[in-house]
């Protein structure tokens, strides 16, 4: 199972983005990204597809 908390942190670091900037790219609120990174919630299916696309673009293995 994918650990989205770690994955999103790693992806944001690779993209050099703040949580706010990352949230704007995904079309979600800052609070939503914050909840994902803190492990309180998981991304929706739609957000997971966008995250997977960004991971592929930035050469991050989703299953790490």
pTM of the predicted model as reported, rounded to 2 decimal places: 0.90
Question: How much is the CA Rg of the chain, to the nearest whole Å?
Answer: 10
Query: pLDDT tens per residue, the chain (64 residues)?
Result: 679 999 999 999 999 999 999 999 999 999 999 999 999 999 999 999 999 999 999 999 987 5
Domain ranges of the chain: 4-57
In this structure, which topology does domain 4-57 adopt according to CATH? 434 Repressor (Amino-terminal Domain) (1.10.260)
Please tell me the distance from the alpha carbon of residue 24 to that of residue 21, in angstroms, as a whole number: 5
**4-15 helix and 19-26 helix, angle to the nearest 10 degrees:** 100
- Counting DSSP H helices and E strands in the chain, the numbers are 4, 0
């Amino acid at each position: 199972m994918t650990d989205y908390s770690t994955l999103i942190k790693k992806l944001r670091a690779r993209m050099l983005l703040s949580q706010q900037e990352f949230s704007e790219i995904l079309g979600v609120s800052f609070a939503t990204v914050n909840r994902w990174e803190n492990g309180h919630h998981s991304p929706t299916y739609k957000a997971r597809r966008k995250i997977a696309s960004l991971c592929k673009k930035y050469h991050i293995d989703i299953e790490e």
